């Protein structure tokens, strides 16, 4: 029960918009990897608004993601404790200055590729930040937290790729969509094989595997606007579960 209470508190801080002051390496790895996930969540919701699929809800979720992103960025900047980490974060914050105005404009199919490209650069920069932190620490759970965060990001990435295909970019993103699905399954299996998993984590990973199979079943058909809302909800369910897994790894790391 103690683990579950900690997980609930962690999710309230990250997902609810309030951001906890960073006090540990495990926490900053979780939060940096969450920034990567938010880049994909913003892209997905931008496309949903452009397609008028759950339009009002997508607008709200886009706004929440932007606010959460900026709050967490501020905390990570304040925490940065090495020159290498500060340099990596500086590049990410500079790229955000390019990306944010794109998401404040009315979604436009003609600009979708530009938005995706700039968002991809931001994703790569936050991946570098996370890697820099993991490689600079000896915490036993750092790699697991990072991998779980990567899977969390992929759960939104497959949704954004599906949305791009539904918006008329099928030829460009069919291969990227399949690649993201494969990466998700490979990294989920890596987490499942860890000797450090407790029973709660094993149970959540099993649930994620079942949900992922359902997601793949839904996405096997040709991408289309009619299926997009269902695909987005299915992916969001997996993201929420991966939030729990990442927080549980973080808690275990803090307990050692």
Domain count for the chain, please give it.
1
Considering the domain boundaries, does residue 246 fall inside one?
Answer: yes
Considering the domain boundaries, does residue 19 fall inside one?
Answer: no
How far is residue 142's CA from residue 29's CA, in Å, rounded to a whole number? 7
Considering the domain boundaries, does residue 116 fall inside one?
Answer: yes
- What Å distances lie between residue 36 and 56, 96, 213, CA to CA? 24, 12, 23
Averaged confidence pLDDT in the chain: 90
| Structure tokens that stand for 237 in this block | 């369910």
Considering the domain boundaries, does residue 5 fall inside one?
Answer: no
Provide the pLDDT confidence category of residue 8 given band limits of 50, 70 and 90: very low
Three-state SS at 116: helix
Considering the domain boundaries, does residue 15 fall inside one?
Answer: no
Model pLDDT for residues 84-138, shown as the tens digit of each residue: 999 999 999 999 999 999 999 999 999 999 999 999 999 999 999 999 999 988 8
Q: What DSSP line would sit under 57-110, residue for residue?
A: HHHHHHHHHHHHHHHHHHHHHHH--SHHHHHHHHHHHHHHHHHHHHHTSPP-GG
Considering the domain boundaries, does residue 119 fall inside one?
Answer: yes
Considering the domain boundaries, does residue 17 fall inside one?
Answer: no
| Structure tokens that stand for 252 in this block | 């275990």
Q: Is the pTM of this model over 0.85?
A: yes
**Owning domain of residue 197:** 25-255
Considering the domain boundaries, does residue 193 fall inside one?
Answer: yes
């Amino acid at each position: 029960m103690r683990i579950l209470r900690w997980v609930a508190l962690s999710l309230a801080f990250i997902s609810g918009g309030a951001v906890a002051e960073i006090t540990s390496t495990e926490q900053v790895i979780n939060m940096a990897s969450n920034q990567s996930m938010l880049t994909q969540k913003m892209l997905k919701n931008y496309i949903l608004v452009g397609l008028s699929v759950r339009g009002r809800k997508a607008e709200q979720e886009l706004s929440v993601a932007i606010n959460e992103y900026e709050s967490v960025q501020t905390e990570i900047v304040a925490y940065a404790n090495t020159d290498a980490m500060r340099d990596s974060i500086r590049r990410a914050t500079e790229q955000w200055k390019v990306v944010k105005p794109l998401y404040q404009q009315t979604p436009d199919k003609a600009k979708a590729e530009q938005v995706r490209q700039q968002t991809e650069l931001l994703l790569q920069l936050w991946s570098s930040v996370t890697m820099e932190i993991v490689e600079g620490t000896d915490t036993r759970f750092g790699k697991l937290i990072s991998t779980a965060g990567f899977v969390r990001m992929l759960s939104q990435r497959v949704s954004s790729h599906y949305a791009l295909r539904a918006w008329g970019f099928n030829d460009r993103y069919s291969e990227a969509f399949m690649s993201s699905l494969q990466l998700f399954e490979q990294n989920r299996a890596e987490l499942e094989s860890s000797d450090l998993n407790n029973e709660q984590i094993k149970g959540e990973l099993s649930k994620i595997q079942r949900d992922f199979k359902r997601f793949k079943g839904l996405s096997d058909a040709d991408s289309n606007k009619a299926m997009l809302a269902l695909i987005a909800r299915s992916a969001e369910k997996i993201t929420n579960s991966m939030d729990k897994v990442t927080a549980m790894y973080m808690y275990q790391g803090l307990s050692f």
